[in-house]
């Protein structure tokens, strides 16, 4: 595509891409990038500086400079926008055509339309996802599965889920769109294209352009988003406050700034979400080199009842309801099996227990990853909410959480076994091979795995090597041990998949896994070197 005032699109322009990559839409992206690109880079540098302080023995605490905001009981976020009042069940998933239809039809109140962790940032996925959202709003979307021949279409009767788009995090770029010779922020691309094409479509339907904001580490990053929203709304002459955003509290620094994040976004806020898997990843990442006091047990042993996780979710509910905002619970990763009744029964029991705890803690709704889990989650929240759309009036003033509670990682029960180490290797390999092939949400061993769970798996392996952790069976976790188990797990995968084994993809996955687990330097995000390997 010819350069349009310093804008260059280097990705292939397939059928209908010109409907999304219009000169006007690209102009908005360029305006956002030129206005906010430098600030984004400064905030990423601030993240790195914080990490250096933590690695040198520093800690995290509630900010003294924003104590006034926390102490001021008067302020509240905006009242919930249309379509976001009742959020008792939210379904998450990528924006491919089939998922778009199934999610909107699912009976969930909200669909998190994901350009982030459940998606792979292939150029085709990003642009076709935008087309699918626009087609869904125009009700021109349909899909026929080329393998099964099954057809999918939006239902005519009943309510469709409210669309809430999750753009990529601030650390990601879109290498196929350049402004003044530099790649544009992936966050701004995903936000801006949806806003440009769908904001008016949504307001005409009585709703609005709504977003989920991932991977934030503090209130200054939220302030940047708020400024992005204001410029975009002013540019399209849409009233300020039309955009609404729910922030995922999925990094441990952000847990210390929840009130400030709500305050920065107060005119655009739709609450906070407990992004549990990325939160675990963040705890491991931030304190990876701080000794065994910050070493967590194997992934499958860490539950939401661990003291530090309990502190985080309880504080989130209290913070949100104090400020009139929704508190949304985290992902149930278990996925039902339509073939194995016993697996199904166990999965449904675990999901029900998870959602029951959240509903009783005061959450206003929660996430599921599969349409079959929508009725389970809805039934649990119906039991607590009844006819009320939410329980924002449940203030949880009984909750008292200190900085020490949020950092009490050492009290987490559980152990580290060879089976746990093998599971981390197996899941990371399977996920990476699929991610590199273009799919970001993958069913592995009856769990819906996305980038967050792969991040936990590889980060734990790195941390166990770095700290010389001993397994329950006695052997010390070393690079040599991990290398041997890697070969064994790969052989098992090859035997299991047979003819379906994709050798080039698994070769790439192994190389990437070694890069992010066996290197002396820790990689901040798995998706960054993975994206570099993509066309």
CA gap 267, 250 in Å, rounded: 22
What CA–CA distance (Å, rounded) separates 258 from 269? Answer: 12
Measure the CA–CA gap between 398 and 383, rounded to whole angstroms: 22
Return the pLDDT at 387: 97
Per-residue confidence (pLDDT) for residue 158, from 0 to 100: 82
- Per-residue pLDDT tens digits for 396-415: 999 999 999 999 999 999 99
Mean pLDDT throughout 384-389? Answer: 98
CA neighbor of 192 nearest in space, from 322, 391, 350, 31: 31
**What is the C-alpha to C-alpha distance for residues 249 and 487, in angstroms, rounded to an integer?**
36
The stretches of 396-502 forming alpha helices (DSSP H) are 403-406, 418-436, 451-466, 479-497
| 1 pLDDT tier (thresholds 50, 70, 90) | very low
Q: What percent of the chain has pLDDT over 90?
A: 94
Quick one: average pLDDT of 144-167? 96
Tokens of 99: 């998922």
Q: What single DSSP character describes residue 5?
A: S
Which residue out of 166, 168, 290, 430 is catalytically annotated? 166
Residues 99-112, mean pLDDT to the nearest whole number? 98
Strand partners, 366: 89
The sign of the dihedral angle between the CA atoms of 133, 135, 139, 145 is: negative
Residue 159 in tokens: 């309510």
pLDDT at 151 over 60: yes
Catalytic residue among 114, 278, 364, 450: 450
Q: Are strands 182-185 and 173-179 parallel, antiparallel or unpaired?
A: antiparallel
Q: What is the pLDDT of residue 157?
A: 81
- Selection from 16, 47, 26 nearest residue 140 by Cα: 16
User: Which residues fall within 8 angstroms of residue 24, CB to CB, at 6 or more apart?
Assistant: 196
Q: Tokens for 69, please give them.
A: 């905001």
The pLDDT mean for the chain works out to 97
Among this protein's residues, is 138 annotated catalytic? Answer: no
Q: Which residues lie closer than 8 Å to 386 by C-beta, 6 or more apart?
A: none
Do 246 and 212 contact (CB within 8 A), yes or no? yes
* Tokens standing for residue 338: 């339509």
How far is residue 55's CA from residue 145's CA, in Å, rounded to a whole number?
Answer: 50
Tell me the three state secondary structure of residue 7: strand
pLDDT at 2 over 50: no
User: What is the structure's pLDDT at 332?
Assistant: 84
**pLDDT tens digits, one per residue of 210-255:** 999 999 999 999 999 999 999 999 999 999 999 999 999 999 999 9
> Is residue 124 within 8 Å of residue 131, measured between CB atoms?
no
CB neighbourhood size of 81 (10 A): 20
In a 3-state reduction of DSSP, which class is residue 178? strand
Mean pLDDT value of segment 128-136: 99
At 34-55, the pLDDT tens digits run 999 999 999 999 999 999 999 9
Residue of 169, 174, 185 lying closest to 217 (CA atoms): 169
Query: What SS3 state is found at 306?
Result: coil
Closest CA relative to residue 307, chosen from 206, 467, 441, 414:
414
Structure tokens at 407: 């950092």
Judge: domain 7-39+60-403, CATH 3.20.20.360: yes
CB of 40 closer than 8 Å to CB of 225: no
Instruction: Convert the pLDDT of each residue in 21-36 to its tens digit.
Output: 999 999 999 999 999 9
Q: Which helix (H) or strand (E) holds 448?
A: strand 447-449
311: exposed, middle or buried (C-beta count within 10 Å: 0-12, 13-18, 19+)? buried
185 vs 178: CA distance, rounded Å: 10
Closest to 94 (Cα-Cα) out of 112, 77, 108, 68: 112
Q: Sign of dihedral through CA atoms 345, 349, 350, 352?
A: positive
Question: What is the per-residue pLDDT for 266?
Answer: 99
Task: Return all residues near 327 (Cβ < 8 A) that are at least 6 apart.
Answer: 271, 272, 273, 274, 316, 317, 319, 320, 321, 362, 363, 364
Residue 339 binned pLDDT confidence (cut-offs 50, 70, 90):
confident
Residue 3 has pLDDT above 80, yes or no: no
Q: E strands along 250-294, which residues?
A: 269-274
Cα separation, 2 vs 18, in Å, equals 13
Q: Check whether 335 has a pLDDT greater than 90.
A: no
Q: Taking Cα atoms as reference points, which of 225, 328, 334 lies closest to residue 273?
A: 328
Give strand pairing partners of 212. 246
How confident is the model over 268-308, as pLDDT tens digits?
999 999 989 999 999 999 999 999 999 999 999 999 999 99
The residue ranges of every structural domain in the chain are: 7-39+60-403, 415-532
Q: Is 166 a catalytic residue?
A: yes
First to last CA, the chain: 17
> Which of the four pLDDT bands, split at 50, 70 and 90, describes residue 337?
confident
Looking at the chain, the number of H-run helices and the number of E-run strands are: 19, 15
Instruction: Please say whether the structural domain 415-532 has been given the CATH code 3.90.550.10.
Output: no
* Residue in the block written with tokens 């409210």: 162
pLDDT at 376 over 80: yes
What distances in angstroms separate CA 118 from CA 113, 215, 229, 278, one per listed residue? 9, 14, 24, 12
Q: What percent of the chain has pLDDT over 70?
A: 99
More confident residue, 196 or 534: 196
Strands (E), 16-69: none
- 417 band by pLDDT with thresholds 50, 70 and 90: very high
Paired sense of beta strands 142-144 and 110-114, if any: unpaired
What 3-state class would DSSP assign to 337? Answer: coil
């Amino acid at each position: 595509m010819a350069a349009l005032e310093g804008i260059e699109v280097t990705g292939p322009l397939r059928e209908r891409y010109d409907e999304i990559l219009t000169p006007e839409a690209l102009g908005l992206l360029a305006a956002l990038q030129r206005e906010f690109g430098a600030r984004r880079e400064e905030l990423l540098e601030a993240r790195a500086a914080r990490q250096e302080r933590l690695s040198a023995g520093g800690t995290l605490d509630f900010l003294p400079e924003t104590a006034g905001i926390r102490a001021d009981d008067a302020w509240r976020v905006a009242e919930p926008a249309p379509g976001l009042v009742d959020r008792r069940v939210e379904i998450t998933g990528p924006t491919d055509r089939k998922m778009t239809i199934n999610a909107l039809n699912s009976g969930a109140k909200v669909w998190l339309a994901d350009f982030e962790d459940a998606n792979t940032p292939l150029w085709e996925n990003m642009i076709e996802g935008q087309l699918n959202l626009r087609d869904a709003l125009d009700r021109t979307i349909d899909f026929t599965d080329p393998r099964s021949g099954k057809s999918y279409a939006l239902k005519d009767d009943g309510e469709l889920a409210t669309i809430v788009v999750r753009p990529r995090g601030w650390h990601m770029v879109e290498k196929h769109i350049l402004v003044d010779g530099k790649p544009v922020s992936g966050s701004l691309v995903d936000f801006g294209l949806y806003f440009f094409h769908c904001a008016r479509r949504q307001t005409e339907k009585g709703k609005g352009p709504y977003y989920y904001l991932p991977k934030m580490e503090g209130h200054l990053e939220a302030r940047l988003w708020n400024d992005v929203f204001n410029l975009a709304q002013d540019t399209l002459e849409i009233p300020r406050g039309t955009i609404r955003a729910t922030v995922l509290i999925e990094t441990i620094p952000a847990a210390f700034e929840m009130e400030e994040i709500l305050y920065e976004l107060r005119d655009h806020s739709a609450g906070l979400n407990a992004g549990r898997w990325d939160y675990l990843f963040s705890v491991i990442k931030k304190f990876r080199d701080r000794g065994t006091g910050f070493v967590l047990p194997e992934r499958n042993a860490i539950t939401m009842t661990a003291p530090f996780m309990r502190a985080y979710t309880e504080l989130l509910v209290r913070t949100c309801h104090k400020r009139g905002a929704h508190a949304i619970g985290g992902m149930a990763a278990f996925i039902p099996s339509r073939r194995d009744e016993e697996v199904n029964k166990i999965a449904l029991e675990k999901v029900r227990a998870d959602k029951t705890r959240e509903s009783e803690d005061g959450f206003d709704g929660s996430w599921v990853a599969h349409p079959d889990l929508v009725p389970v989650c809805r039934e649990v929240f119906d039991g607590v909410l009844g006819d009320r759309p939410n329980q924002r009036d449940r203030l949880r003033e009984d909750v008292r959480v200190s900085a020490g509670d949020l950092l009490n990682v050492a009290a987490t029960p559980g152990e580290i076994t060879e089976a746990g180490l093998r599971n981390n290797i197996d899941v990371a390999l399977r996920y990476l091979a699929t991610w590199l092939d273009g799919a970001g949400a993958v069913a592995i061993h009856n769990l819906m795995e996305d980038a967050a769970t792969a991040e936990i798996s590889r980060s734990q392996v790195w941390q166990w090597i770095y700290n010389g952790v001993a397994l329950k069976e006695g052997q010390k976790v070393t690079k040599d041990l991990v290398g041997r188990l890697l070969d064994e797990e790969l052989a098992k995968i090859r035997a299991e998949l047979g003819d379906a084994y994709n050798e080039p993809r698994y070769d790439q996955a192994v190389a990437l896994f070694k890069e992010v687990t066996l290197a002396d330097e820790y990689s901040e995000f798995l998706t960054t070197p993975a994206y570099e390997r993509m066309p």
